[in-house]
Amino acid sequence: MTFQFHKMHGAGNDFVLIDLRRETFVPGPETTRALADRHRGVGCDQVLLLHEADDPAHLLRYSIWNADGTPAGQCGNGARCVALYIARNGEYPGRPYTLESPAGVVAVRHCDDGDFELDLGVPDFHPERVPVLLPEDGGRYRLDSPWGPLVFGAAWLGNPHALLLRDSLDDEDIPSMGAWLGRQAAFPEGVNAGFAALQSRRAIDLRVVERGAGETLACGSGACAAVAILRRLGHVDERVEVFLPGGRLVIKWPGNTAPLSMKGPAQHVFRGIMNE
């Protein structure tokens, strides 16, 4: 059996997108791992699968699978790629619309400059929601590690996120540190580990080691979680530019129970046919 796929990326975070509304098979974990393999497959951080919406009020539904075959709850960069696919496929209704994601409804706006802006919901800082099994002290957690005590904030934004504030992001231990965090019993569902350095109250640098994918060039939900955590701790303003290895995102969060928005690019790389 053959199927069509699209290779896309958002700020370097890359995806294989398959529109299952037009295909006759359902990829499983083994197919996902084969697609994501950068040597024997297409190569990607995540696989995006498009489905008919459960509620006709929304344009479509998408699911997300990590490179290791495990499901993900949210992917901001991936959602922008879905928006780009919608535009290229002639489905853009000419107005803001909504999509169904594993973490809930995502509102999408097509911007005049070619970027896409998404509302990704309200960040949840409750330890049981992240989840994180550590005592909280003023929005911070502490965990002893091979690199010494690690102090971090945590939030849920479709995925569990931890954020460590660093003076510099040049540390070669960041990939190992992030992977180690994701394996700890303190995070029963794993965690996306972010490492941020402040440029100012309106700009940060960020690296993210994602559960199920490793360090990626960009993590949309990780950028959102980083800004939410830093804003909660009083380090940044409402609008923050986030500079990741693969590009720039703009995150806005007024705080409290307001939804958080993310604006950034998406690119279509190529279309192909693959045997299942």
The catalytic site residues sit at 75, 219
Q: Are residues 264 and 247 in contact, defined by beta-carbon separation less than 8 angstroms?
A: yes
Q: Which residues contact 209 (CB under 8 A, 6 or more apart)?
A: 174, 175, 177, 178, 179, 181, 182, 192, 193, 195, 215
Quick one: angle between helices 76-88 and 220-232, nearest 10?
Answer: 130
List residues bridging with 155 in a β-sheet.
161
SS3 101: strand
Q: Are residues 27 and 49 in contact, defined by beta-carbon separation less than 8 angstroms?
A: yes
Q: Are residues 99 and 59 in contact, defined by beta-carbon separation less than 8 angstroms?
A: yes
Q: Which two tokens stand for residue 56?
A: 């006709």
Q: Which two tokens stand for residue 149?
A: 């005590």
Closest by CA position to 55, among listed 95, 101, 121: 101
SS3 275: strand
Q: How, if at all, do strands 214-216 and 203-210 pair?
A: antiparallel
Q: Which residues contact 113 (CB under 8 A, 6 or more apart)?
A: none
